[in-house]
Amino acid sequence: MPVVDAVYSAEIRKARRDLHHLISSKSCAPIMLRLAFHDAATYCKETQTGGPNGSIRKPEEFEQSVNKGLKTAIDFCEQIKLKHPIISYADIYQLAGVVAVEVAGGPTIEFIPGRKDSEEWTAEGRLPDAEKGASDLRAKFNRMGLCSDRDIVVLWGGHILDRAQEDRSDFDGPWIGKPLKFDNSYFKELLKAHKDEFMKLDPWALQGFQGKRLANLLNEEPEGLLLLPSDRLLMTNAWFRLYVITYAKNPNSFLEQYAISHKKLSELGFIKRPPFPLYYVYMNKKNNKSNMLPQTIAGLAIAASVMIIWYRIRRRKKKERKSGGGGGGGGAECNGDGGSGSDIDGGSGVGGGGQWAEVVAAVMARLACEKNIT
């Protein structure tokens, strides 16, 4: 573990300036951000292995198919390591990701140094796989300790920079037409690419002043988005889709949340956090922000409300069955047996309150998971 004293901190500041110059001159922000993500996203909170520990520099790891092309970024970072040898590889890789976002016009992300280099490489299979869809995406992020859908969606939006060129992955082509600008274009293009489906699932989102802005956005010409299997899941899953809509309409909301989520990713297994939600209250008090505490309280209130609604629906169903009355089909309720009621997941209705049970389970799982982040 490096000793973060005045000398080390001074070297970090110098390395930050050197990385800014290197990334700007080489136009390598996308691959540097990808390097930081791939080194950090191997973390497992149960075994406390992997994570932002610099292990991706090992041939056994950077030669894995999912890390194709990252040797270029590793070599760029080696130039920084030669100039600042006391800085750990783990710190250099995560600092490179932070600077890459800033060079591309993204938010300034707080960086805390002191990561320890690992001499052991991480086995293949821990990174989120674009071809495996929702179950893999959620499972991999949950394994890291990032259980919030907000973190999943906003970090996936960071692919705005990744041009996914042939030497980097199996998806050949740009994510969007202007890949070196870090903004909310990914979410806007995602909505435009699924315009018809979105308007069918969420017509309410087009109401009011913000809705008119969103409607105008949907009528714009697409810039050319490389769609991955996981992109569709962000639109078909209601939890994910709500954040896609939010970030498409509000670029500042995306940038603010990205800075928070990126920091969490870069500190997995490195920074010990108080239990949820105290960490978020503390962080926003530290940053002189007051918006997160109301959001946290609102989130817990919504979860409690959903549980109460689900419980009452189940009780009514039991009473109907006892009195000989069956659940009516085709009703407007979200839990009508055989009905086509409101669908929280954007698909077909599910009888017997199954959808609400799924919502409650998801809410409680995420709260429990975030409570156990280390």
Beta partners for residue 44, in sequence order: 49
Look at residue 203 in the predicted model and tell me its pLDDT: 60
> Can you give the pLDDT of all 374 residues of the chain as single tens digits?
789 999 999 999 999 999 999 999 998 999 999 999 999 999 999 999 999 999 999 999 999 999 999 999 999 999 999 999 999 999 999 999 999 999 999 999 999 999 999 999 999 999 987 667 777 888 899 999 998 899 999 998 887 676 444 445 554 444 454 556 898 888 888 888 776 666 665 665 655 545 555 666 665 655 555 666 667 778 878 888 889 988 988 999 999 999 999 999 999 999 765 544 444 444 444 444 444 455 556 666 676 777 777 677 777 767 766 666 544 444 333 333 333 333 333 333 333 444 444 455 555 555 555 444 43
Query: What gap in Å lies between CA 15 and CA 88, rounded to an integer?
Result: 11
Are the C-beta atoms of residues 162 and 67 closer than 8 Å to each other?
A: no
Side-chain-facing half-sphere of 50: CA atoms under 13 Å: 24
As a whole number of angstroms, the distance between CA 133 and CA 263 comes to 25
For residue 245, give the nearest of 165, 346, 122 by alpha carbon. 346
Contacts of residue 102, Cβ cutoff 8 Å, sequence gap at least 6: 20, 108, 109
| pLDDT for residue 315 | 73
Q: Please list, in sequence order, all residues whose beta carbon lies within 8 angstroms of the beta carbon of residue 356, skipping any fewer than 6 positions away.
A: 306, 309, 310, 313, 334, 335, 344
Catalytic residue among 38, 84, 194, 262: 38
Phi, psi of 44 (to 5 degrees): -125, 115
Tell me, what DSSP letter sits at residue 269?
A: T
Residue 282 backbone phi and psi in degrees, to 5: -65, -50
What per-residue confidence (pLDDT) applies to 328? Answer: 45
First to last CA, the chain: 18
Task: Kindly report, residue by residue over 56-115, the tens digit of the pLDDT.
Answer: 999 999 999 999 999 999 999 999 999 999 999 999 999 999 999 999 999 999 999 999
38 is catalytic: yes
Name the CA radius of gyration of the chain, rounded. Answer: 22
pLDDT value at position 322? 67
Residue 210 has what pLDDT?
55
pLDDT of residue 335: 34
In angstroms, the CA 368 to CA 345 distance is 22
Yes or no: say if 95 and 15 are a contact pair by the CB < 8 Å rule.
yes
Give the DSSP H or E segment for 203. none
